[in-house]
Structure 1
Amino acid sequence: MTESITGRPVVARFCPSPTGNPHVGMARTALFSWAFARHNKGTFVFRIEDTDTSRDTEESYQLLIDVMHWLGLDWDQGPEVGGPNGPYRQSERLDIYADVVDKLRAAGKAYPCYCTAAELEHRRDAARRAGRPSGYDGKCRSLTPEEKAAFESEGRTFVTRFRMPDRDVSFTDLVRNEVISFGAENVQDYVLVRANGHPLYTLTNAVDDALMGITHVLRGEDLLSSTPRQIALYEAFRDIGFGDGGMPEFGHLPYVMGQGNKKLSKRDPESNLLAYRDQGFLPEGLLNYLALLGWSIAKDRDVFSLAEMVEAFRIGDVNANPARFDIKKCQAINGDHIRMLSPEEFVKRLVPYFASARLIGDPASDEELALLTAAAPLVHERTNLLTDAVDMLRFLFVADGDFAIDDADSAKNLGEGGITTVRAAHKALGNLSSWDTESIETALRDALVEGLGLKPRLAFGPVRVAITGSRISPPLFESLELLGRDKSLARLTAVLG
């Protein structure tokens, strides 16, 4: 059973523009559209909106492809996959748009507008002063052939405008589950094609949706005002016999809010999707959190898999109210997903981050992988980001000449008393005949807790800082075993001067 008023098999789409870095709002839109299609056993179309030659870049296009692969949001039709309605980059479909515009103009559904920018602004100012809607006033709606010829003789160029019907436009929003109406006076004739011949997204998206059989359009609330324009355009398509005659259903997703309860924008640091990958988020952890920005699987449950989301997701359950992005909760949920990984999968996810930090080779050697496999369980339960593990285990992999102790931790733990503790630890460990966790723990407890009369926290803190370079580290005794006798004693010696 599908969530569809019309009952057509579900075909949902995601059509981002390749401008700049992908952002979290984009990822949430992709996630909800993908989950909707998968829940309804439908088709998910990935399409690239790249007709803005001044802003679209090939680098951004490739980033979109890479990010979708990283997130694991697979598509049934689109770049790299193909499909029956390609190509799936709008820049390769310009002839299609031009042909549709010709048909619309021939049917009187669209017309050339010769108004200059200055003329438009002058008339808009006058409308605002008179308290009237300030959109396009229809000046060129009914030009005679002679008037058109006169404008062209002046050297004027024209844009192509769509002729909006002189009536209100209404639709049922899938997220709000209510009928939304736009008065005819508030939705004026709009531009389909710029004077330079470049089509605008209101045209290209509607044309592609019609040709690709899109049944459901889930997109951001910021595009709500364009919906009546596109609905009227679909109706015009029916009149000219273009497409399959179907009308998509629309759902507008709530805003994602950032700091200060302002809409999260591309300029906000927490919006940069690539930064989350670099910081060590799991795609499943990040997607889990993004799903919570407007939807939940159950009142008392925040952590779930993508498969569970697909099973439970209904677009009517999305909350229409804005959702605030909370980076701490995002990290916590990511940590939950990290702890759900098997030990083998955890190591697999860590390898690229250790290689990026140049702590292991790319590819890693057998010895490096063996050390990482042995060390990873020490931090698995304490890791919220994969980079946390890199920071905590760095001391095991860093070259001797690159090992450094945090200045603040050194000042706090390696004063006169700390040096006395390190000296006692060096002597006790130097006398060990067997270098294993149990022997190390026994020797240090005997020397520092029993011998010096220190509480464990004060006893082991200076040793931890001397060995790992930080007061935050994996368990000390296991760390010493993995680091090995020679490196451990050398680091203690270095602190003693």
Structure 2
Amino acid sequence: MAPYYSTMNLKSRFAPSPTGFLHLGNARTALFAWLAARSTQGCFVLRLEDTDQERSTALYEHALLEDLRWLGLDWDEGPDHGGGHGPYRQMERQSIYGDYFARLQTAGRAYPCYCSADELAAERAVQRGAGKPPRYSGRCRHLDAGARAQREAAGLRPTLRFRVPDHGTVVVPDLVWGERHYALADLGDFVIRRSDGSPAFFFANAVDDALMEVNLVLRGEDHLSNTPRQILVLQALDLPIPAYGHLPLLLGADGQPLSKRYGAISLRDLQHHGYLPAAIRNYLARLGHHYTATGFLNRVALAQGFSLTQISRAPGHFDPEQLRHWQREALQSLDDAAIWTWLTPWLRDKVPMGQEIAFVAAVRANMVLPADALDWAERCFAVPLADAEAIQTIAAAPQGFWSAAQATLRAAGGDYRLWTKTLQKESGQRGKALFMPLRAALTGLTHGPELAVLLPLIGEGRAQTRLQAAAQLT
């Protein structure tokens, strides 16, 4: 079963369920599928698998599309974009599925199942108790028309099960894990249509891929066991089978797979804290994929460097420090004006008009997130809170240091270099003994940007007030 795509016609997709905000595990899957398409000038499809009507909402659908765009992904076909293979919401494709259900039933490859949830649970319990893997026993396989009519007259609404051959093997050639073989006898007949008439994942997902001419499916490793069933469905319907690649799972700090049901970090969370899309792209692209280039890459370079052969089998672990590293790299790729545009929602009223770019130039090397910039804005333009180390440094300054600092600053007219040179002569302090107390008094910290670029932002008036306050601590 060779893949029927090439670098000339590759078509990948991302097919999420709009049942929650997009978490990092699914965001990485979307990114890898997008990179695979863009690396070959192929086609990328967005499809919404919204058959879980209890949990799928318009709110989550809107958020999903919004978050993918924010991440920098675009698609050639999708629910808001159109295309030649729509509709792109599964609930709008019910009539299409109905036709294929009928084909399978006519061919004897599917049959109605009237077993209740309690009956199935009891059956699985017995199998587990006997040390056997749970699978459907096939009790409804051989019901005749009369038995089926009797059950339906009693009000039972059947599911539809796919009839798996009793013997043989299905081969799954996986781009990440290699070729895998599954004994058909171990699979059991599986549900392809629920009792409410909606298609099950196994069915709709596979049929949609075929009808939309998707020829490369990248998805999480947790879907690996679904693949033999989907291949069986496609073979029975004589539909094309895509190439599959199952990505290693992305694990949280607790070692468990990230999941939107269990509080995993979402893209929306990271956006709220001020992470840049480019930082997240660079981080996620390297979680389970090896790039030759080790530095920051823009969207085009990420796509050019992506290769299916470089996907790892090892699970990725979400590391906040690595994400912060790529945030720093992304920031350094921007000029001062672009950084201010990014910071504006957080700092709009915190930096005096006309000083925005000078402020960014002064503090950009000392910030990772907007919260860092906000802290420096308050230290420059408001009343800074001194930490314990700064207070100790201020209190340890020698007698007369602060009065000399005030007098020499006044005489220097706010000129930093003239001020510090004169203060060195007046106080006899030099190096760390000179600059550390000044930094502590002016910013409330013993580390940070160069004082030479901060003093013009702080201004002589605020600086004098802070030096006077420092004198009160000695």
Shift of 1:215: 0.6
2:453 counterpart of 1:478: yes
| Residues 101-120 of structure 1 mapped to structure 2, 5 A cutoff | 101-120=101-120
| 2: CA distance, partners of 1:417 / 1:459 | 9
| Residues 152-191 of structure 1 mapped to structure 2, 5 A cutoff | 152-166=152-166, 167-176=168-177, 178-191=178-191
Offset from partner CA, 1:333-377 (integer Å, 9 cap, x none) = 22122212233333333323424xx536xxxxxx63x31111211
Shift of 1:83: 1.4
2:344 counterpart of 1:351: yes
Offset from partner CA, 1:167-193 (integer Å, 9 cap, x none) = 3211210122x2111111221111122
2:420 counterpart of 1:429: no
| Residues 321-470 of structure 1 mapped to structure 2, 5 A cutoff | 321-355=314-348, 359=350, 368=353, 370-397=354-381, 400=382, 403-409=383-389, 411-415=391-395, 417=397, 421-433=401-413, 435=414, 439-447=415-423, 449-470=424-445
Shift of 1:483: 2.4
Shift of 1:452: 2.7
Equivalent residues of 1:270, 1:327 under 8 A apart: no
| Residues 135-146 of structure 1 mapped to structure 2, 5 A cutoff | 135-146=135-146
2:345 aligned partner, one-letter code: P
Name which of 462, 467, 473 aligns with 1:487: 462
Offset from partner CA, 1:214-242 (integer Å, 9 cap, x none) = 1110000001011111111111222xxxx
Offset from partner CA, 1:390-435 (integer Å, 9 cap, x none) = 33333345xx5xx3414535543443648964443233223333x3
Equivalent residues of 2:350, 2:377 under 8 A apart: no
Shift of 1:446: 2.6
1:441 aligned partner, one-letter code: R
Name which of 286, 296, 310 aligns with 1:292: 286
2:128 aligned partner, one-letter code: R
| 2: CA distance, partners of 1:6 / 1:165 | 29
Percent identity for Structure 1 against Structure 2: 35
Q: Match of 2:297, SS?
A: coil
Offset from partner CA, 1:8-53 (integer Å, 9 cap, x none) = 8211000111222211111111111011111122100011122212
| Residues 310-325 of structure 1 mapped to structure 2, 5 A cutoff | 310-325=303-318
| 2: CA distance, partners of 1:470 / 1:49 | 52
After alignment, is 262-271 or 321-330 more displaced? 262-271
| 2: CA distance, partners of 1:389 / 1:250 | 44
2:420 aligned partner, one-letter code: L
Structure 1 residues 208 and 163: alpha-carbon distance in aligned structure 2, compared to 1, 3 A threshold = same
2:416 aligned partner, one-letter code: I
Shift of 1:323: 2.2
Number of paired residues?
A: 469
Equivalent residues of 1:422, 1:462 under 8 A apart: no
Equivalent residues of 1:78, 1:88 under 8 A apart: yes
Structure 1 residues 72 and 443: alpha-carbon distance in aligned structure 2, compared to 1, 3 A threshold = same
Equivalent residues of 2:378, 2:384 under 8 A apart: no
Q: Match of 1:484, SS?
A: helix
1:424 aligned partner, one-letter code: A
Shift of 1:260: 4.9
| 2: CA distance, partners of 1:271 / 1:62 | 18
Offset from partner CA, 1:264-302 (integer Å, 9 cap, x none) = 34477773322222233221121111111111221x725
Structure 1 residues 4 and 341: alpha-carbon distance in aligned structure 2, compared to 1, 3 A threshold = farther
Shift of 1:6: 4.9
Structure 1 residues 461 and 91: alpha-carbon distance in aligned structure 2, compared to 1, 3 A threshold = farther
| 1: CA distance, partners of 2:274 / 2:138 | 54
Equivalent residues of 1:393, 1:474 under 8 A apart: no
| Residues 269-288 of structure 1 mapped to structure 2, 5 A cutoff | 271-288=265-282
Shift of 1:110: 2.0
Q: Quote the residue 1:253 is aligned against.
A: 247
Equivalent residues of 2:25, 2:250 under 8 A apart: yes
Equivalent residues of 2:4, 2:215 under 8 A apart: no
Structure 1 residues 440 and 6: alpha-carbon distance in aligned structure 2, compared to 1, 3 A threshold = closer
Equivalent residues of 1:392, 1:472 under 8 A apart: no
Equivalent residues of 1:418, 1:462 under 8 A apart: no
Q: Match of 2:324, SS?
A: helix
Q: Match of 2:219, SS?
A: strand
| 2: CA distance, partners of 1:99 / 1:353 | 54
TM-score of the superposed pair, with normalisation by structure 1: 0.86
Q: Match of 2:180, SS?
A: strand
Shift of 1:496: 4.9
Equivalent residues of 1:294, 1:318 under 8 A apart: yes
| 2: CA distance, partners of 1:268 / 1:148 | 41
Structure 1 residues 97 and 473: alpha-carbon distance in aligned structure 2, compared to 1, 3 A threshold = same
2:455 aligned partner, one-letter code: L
| Residues 176-255 of structure 1 mapped to structure 2, 5 A cutoff | 176=177, 178-238=178-238, 245-255=239-249
1:383 aligned partner, one-letter code: M
Unaligned runs of 5+ in 2: none
2:158 counterpart of 1:149: no
2:280 counterpart of 1:304: no
| 2: CA distance, partners of 1:468 / 1:119 | 71
Provide the aligned C-alpha RMSD in A: 2.6
Q: Quote the residue 1:363 is aligned against.
A: none
Q: Match of 1:259, SS?
A: coil
Structure 1 residues 51 and 471: alpha-carbon distance in aligned structure 2, compared to 1, 3 A threshold = farther
Q: Match of 2:240, SS?
A: coil
Q: Match of 1:191, SS?
A: strand
Q: Match of 2:427, SS?
A: coil
Q: Quote the residue 1:364 is aligned against.
A: none
1:170 aligned partner, one-letter code: V
Q: Match of 2:88, SS?
A: coil
Offset from partner CA, 1:86-129 (integer Å, 9 cap, x none) = 22222333333334323333332222111112211222222223
